[in-house]
Chains A and B, each alone.
Chain A
Amino acid sequence: MPRVRILPAGAEFEVGEGEAVAEAAWRHGHVWPTQCWGQADCMTCFTRIVDGELCALPAEREELDAVRAKMSPRFRSDPLVRLACRLRCQGDGLVLEKQGFRAAEPAESGGAD
């Protein structure tokens, strides 16, 4: 399974096949900021690709439409800014920056609920 690395926290975790990065983070019990919990609506989960761009699968229509309609103008046209609730990846090279990301305490790694 692909792995991603998150800065500045420095944490790494596995992302399942077909799973989005934010969804994987929640599954591991990490805190990945969101308000809509994966509906491509609130834009809170946005993240910047800092390395391994080729490991990120291209954005699909739903993500492109949501970013165009709802993302802050400052990030709207930056191709390295992606929605983590729609960002899928391959291989182990993807490095993302996400302020507010917090790795799970070992005891709470059972999942978001």
Chain B
Amino acid sequence: MTVTDPRRTGDIEAALAHGPNGPEVNAKVPHHMDGWLRVPAERYHSREFFELEKEKLWPHVWQMAAREEEIPNPGDFVEYEIVGQSLLIVRQHDGSVKALHNACRHRATELGSGCGRFPGGQIVCPFHGWRWKIDGSISHVFGREGFAEETVRPEDIALREAKCDTWGGHVWVNLDLDAPPLLEALFPAANILQRNGVQRMRAKWWKETILNCNWKLAQEAFFEGWHVKQTHPQLYTYKDGPDNETNLQNTVYTPFVNGHGRFQSGDAKEGYGGKPDFLQAARLNWAGQDAMTLERDITVFESVAGDMDTSDPAYVAKAFDALYKFWEGAGIPAPDRTPEVLKMWGGDIHMFPNYLMLPMYANALCYRVRPYNDDPDWCRFEVWSLTTYPEKEERGRLELSGRFDKDDADHWGLIPRQDFANLERMQRGIKNRSLTEIRLSEKWEVTIANMHQELDRRLAARS
């Protein structure tokens, strides 16, 4: 299924998170949240808490497992690993996708690694040569005559499946076969993103880094735009001078049900139109991360700049006119030019538990953060730059560009390098004996608390 239920689009703004959890949740969770203003430090480094996440969160939550363009053709596969559990995400002959547990039913050898193809439609165990079709049904038991009948019943030795569905150009999986439907779990985050056209986007590039930082602490650095002034001073192009602490982006933070969160511009003005120098900000955004704003957009914006004052709102309107005209001429399907769509440009959606999308124009920047190497202190941090290509353009198969060191200036722009530098300092600080908790702004950081409240509900659940 790739279409969000349209009946629910009208319900988005009403889908606000409920209040803090009560004792029925808190009593069951060590280091639980207590209200919205503080997060106990142990949640970011304790082994006990990490093991509880492995038991109660990851095996029961819908998670983004792959981009669809990683597996364009039948037989293509990509491996998805979460806290030591490996799945093979395999494109089927009918175009659907299955998630198969990556373990031989004989003696447990992992059947696939990384990404690749199963040509001939056969998944083969490298140990003894047992073989499955790409739908997981057994096609050949090597040495079958040596096995008792009861140990090789076809239904017992078929590869086990996880729940698997697609939305927004991504493949999602849930190891819990009793999980609710995907779009129910993604509401209302998916509905908002769908309005901005993320389902039409494809990856321009995809990279990853390994960080000495807990997965939650790492992703929370991207839950607010409030850090921009200090962490990314080069992006701060307001003319009011460095002393003004007022956030002129007028950003509004909204905690939603299901643990999702959003920040976006707080009125109907056109996206980043509040910046004194729109064109300069756009150039810095492109040069600093090659995502959200791409070279293509800069060329369009420059094409109407002429002698105009690029901080004049009239210029911004003209720049957006040019962008929509460019999309039309290039055959690029455009998002609707509505206040709801434009407010989201430069904003951010967190999809519980660990995926973020930042849509802008016909582009988006995405982050996925997973625990790494069974260690609460480490995470695997992935970044995608998405854009919308002309409808008939063939892009080929997407592969990870590579794993790059967090301060590799040849592969990471200045903006992510500045963020990554903070993250490892945060992880060291969070273990400092002088603090037992961190404190949150009720205005700028409420979606962080919301994520933790949802996490506690998951950790308190019985299954």
A: residues with CB less than 8 A from B are 20, 22-23, 26-27, 34-39, 41, 85, 111-113
Determine if B126 and A37 form an interchain contact, defined as CB atoms under 8 angstroms apart.
no
Chain B contact residue count (CB 8 A cutoff) = 15
Query: Is B139 in contact with A41, judged by CB distance below 8 angstroms?
Result: no
Of B119, B133, B134, the contact of A20 (CB 8 Å cutoff): B119
Q: In the complex, which of the residues B123, B126, B134 has the most CB atoms of chain A within 10 Å of its own CB atom?
A: B126
- Please name the residue on chain B nearest to A62 by beta carbon: B116
Cross-chain pair count, CB within 8 angstroms: 40
List A contacts of B120 (CB < 8 A): 22-23, 26-27, 34, 37-38, 112
In the complex, the answer to whether B119 meets A36 with C-beta atoms within 8 Å is: no
Q: List 26 A-B contacts (CB under 8 A).
A: A20-B119, A23-B120, A26-B119, A26-B121, A27-B120, A35-B124, A35-B129, A36-B124, A37-B118, A37-B120, A37-B122, A37-B123, A37-B124, A38-B117, A38-B118, A38-B120, A38-B122, A39-B116, A41-B126, A85-B119, A111-B121, A112-B120, A112-B122, A113-B121, A113-B122, A113-B134
Residues on B close to A: CB < 8 A? 116-124, 126, 129, 131, 133-134, 139
How far, in angstroms, from A26 to B133 measured CA to CA in the complex? 13
In the docked arrangement, what's the CA distance between A111 and B122, Å?
11
Q: Roughly how many angstroms separate A37 CA and B129 CA in the complex, as a whole number?
A: 10
User: Bound complex: CA of A41 vs CA of B122, how far in Å?
Assistant: 14
Beyond contacts A38-B118, A39-B116, A85-B119: 7 other A-B pairs, Cβ-Cβ < 8 A, are A36-B126, A37-B120, A39-B126, A112-B122, A113-B121, A113-B133, A113-B139
| Residues in A neighbouring B117, C-beta threshold 8 A | 38
Residues of B within 8 A of A36 (CB): 124, 126
Measured between beta carbons, the chain B residues less than 8 angstroms from A22 are: 119-120
**In this complex, what residue of A is CB-closest to B139?**
A113
Asked if A112 contacts B121 (CB within 8 A), the reply is: yes
Q: Which 10 A/B pairs are nearest by Cβ-Cβ distance?
A: A38-B119, A26-B120, A23-B119, A37-B122, A113-B121, A112-B120, A37-B124, A113-B133, A37-B120, A112-B121
List of A residues within 8 angstroms of B121 by Cβ: 26, 111-113
Please give, as numbers and ranges, the residues of chain B lying within 8 Å of A27 by CB-CB distance.
Answer: 120
Complex Cα gap A39–B129 (Å): 13
Which residues of the partner chain A approach B124 to less than 8 Å between Cβ atoms? 35-37, 39
Chain B residues with CB under 8 Å of A85's CB are 119
Which residues of chain A are near B134, meaning CB under 8 Å?
113
CA distance A107 to B116 in the complex (A): 30
Residues of chain B within 8 A (CB-CB) of A41 are: 126
How near does chain B come to A98, taking the closest CB pair, in angstroms? Answer: 15
CA distance A23 to B75 in the complex (A): 11
Determine the chain B residues whose CB is within 8 A of the CB of A35 once the complex forms. 124, 129
Q: Which residue of chain A has its CB nearest to the CB of B123?
A: A37
A7 smallest CB distance to B (angstroms): 22
B residues less than 8 Å from A23 (CB atoms): 119-120
Q: Which residues of B lie under 8 Å from residue A38 when comparing CB positions?
A: 117-120, 122
Rounded to whole Å, the gap between the CB of A50 and the closest CB of chain B is 23
Complex: how many Å from CA A89 to CA B117?
Answer: 19
**Which residue on A lies nearest to B135, using beta carbons?**
A113
Name the distance in Å between A22's Cβ and chain B's nearest Cβ.
7
A111-B124 Cα distance, complex, nearest whole Å: 17
Of all chain A residues, the one with the shortest Cβ separation from B120 is A26
B112 CB to nearest chain A CB (Å): 9
A36 to B124 CA separation, bound complex (whole angstroms) = 6
Task: Report the separation of the CA atoms of residues A111 and B74 in the bound assembly, to the nearest whole angstrom.
Answer: 13
Closest to A34 in B: B120
Q: How far is the CA of A85 from the CA of B134 in the complex (A)?
A: 17
B348 to A: closest C-beta gap in Å: 38
A8–B282 CA distance with the chains assembled, in angstroms: 64
Enumerate chain B residues within 8 angstroms of A113, measured Cβ to Cβ: 121-122, 133-134, 139
Residues of A within 8 A of B122 (CB): 37-38, 112-113
CA distance A22 to B123 in the complex (A): 15
Docked Cα-Cα span, A76 to B248, in Å, equals 67
